[in-house]
Amino acid sequence: MNLRSFTCKVVLVLVLIGMVAGTVQPLKAGDVSVASSPLLKTPCDYYSYWKQKYLNPSVRFPGDWKVNYNGKGATVSEAIGYGMLITALMADKDSESKKYFDGLNSFRKRFPSSINPAFMCWKIPPHERPGKNDCATDGELDIAYALLLAHERWGDEAYLAEAKSLIRAIGSSLVRTDFSLRLGDWNEVPGQTRPSDFMPTHFRAFGKVTGDPLWKKVETRSYDILKELQLEKFYAGNKTTGLIPDFAVQKNGHWVPARSGFLEGRHDGDFYYNACRVPWRLGWAALASPDKGDDRANEVLGRFMRWAVMNVKDPEQFKAGYRLDGKPVYNSDFDTACFISPTGVAAMALGMESWKAKVERYALGSREEYYEDSINLLCLILMSGQSPGFIRQDSPQ
């Protein structure tokens, strides 16, 4: 659930106090900077910044941790999933990462969905006493994949057992009989999905560890929906942009962009704050394949990046939202890492080194809020090549 409206950014200048052995001194929670502030040198430095600003101890459960979603201590399952991915990916760079990972994992299990207790309640208020609430699919997918990463990094079989249990629950409750993904355990209406939940890297890993052929079908269905959204002619203007909408619905047997106001706001059918993650998710899938051999991911990314190079031309000129015909949405005339950094992962997968290098430099200088900074860090980790971020996988079929 990612309802966000953006107004003008109000930022404070971040002062970096000295350098020690090539790393940045720890930052105080709440520090933020304008893009022109000194660059952090590496993804490890950005991780230090992110950790200090967003990783908070639970106010009720000693030893538990949460990711501060709104600056006031609330969190969501999406944020917990990002935190678990980040701490697992940084395991070889941070000796305390396992402590944080285990604390996040413990925290999320304390707040089950009121519909399916196998999942986390999607939003937890600052006082950590939520009412009844349901789950969001993206958080559960990331949490399950993070548990597999944890098993690979730290070797504890308990992580693998927990991952398999959660994967089974996702397969039985969040995947429809046509292998499309529900929006959450609350979503009973057929023919509704969110393309940013399409995570082929995760689906392949789920299939590998469980032996369940379901996940290959989910991956195939996801790519089929993406291709249909990019190429079909039932709405004008999108054939050459490759842009994907925030939400998609089935209409007369076709997958089409959701109408304005479908779930989160006026831009539900635009390339906006959900769909901006698609280039990261598919770029990750391509990079995770042997020899970058995911042709389906590369095809989707190729259509999108051809439009970006021809029309946006420079990563820093990428706007904060587009209609599917390529025109910027209203009030989008600013740069933000959650749109720009995923294009760097896509460029890396496609061998577009110049674009990727520009994105990487931009990303190291970006300081925003939880959502933007978390996606930015996850993209930086992949672009650095220092932590591959995937379970050993076979070539996609």
Burial of 63 (0-12, 13-18, 19+ CB in 10 A): exposed
Residue 254 contacts residue 232 (beta carbons within 8 Å): yes
Q: How far apart are CA 80 and CA 102, in angstroms?
A: 11
Q: How far apart are CA 357 and CA 102, in angstroms?
A: 34
3-state secondary structure of 148: helix
3-state secondary structure of 222: helix
Q: How far is CA 149 from the centre of its chain?
A: 16
Residue 265 contacts residue 369 (beta carbons within 8 Å): no
Q: How far apart are CA 41 and CA 43, in angstroms?
A: 7
Known catalytic membership, residue 94: no
How far is the CA of 90 from the CAs of 20, 40, 150, in angstroms? Answer: 20, 16, 10
Q: How far apart are CA 264 and CA 244, in angstroms?
A: 16
- SS3 for 257-273 is ECCCCCCCCCCCCCECC
Q: How far apart are CA 347 and CA 157, in angstroms?
A: 36
Give per-residue burial for 336-357: e unless 16+ CB within 10 Å, then b: bbbbbbbbbbbbbbbebeebbe
Known catalytic membership, residue 232: no
Q: Which is the catalytic residue, given 102, 128, 134, 138?
A: 138
Q: Which is the catalytic residue, given 45, 64, 78, 185?
A: 78
How far is the CA of 180 from the CAs of 36, 226, 243, 253, in angstroms? Answer: 43, 11, 20, 14
How far is the CA of 217 from the CAs of 39, 155, 253, 277, in angstroms? Answer: 43, 29, 19, 22
Active site residues: 78, 138
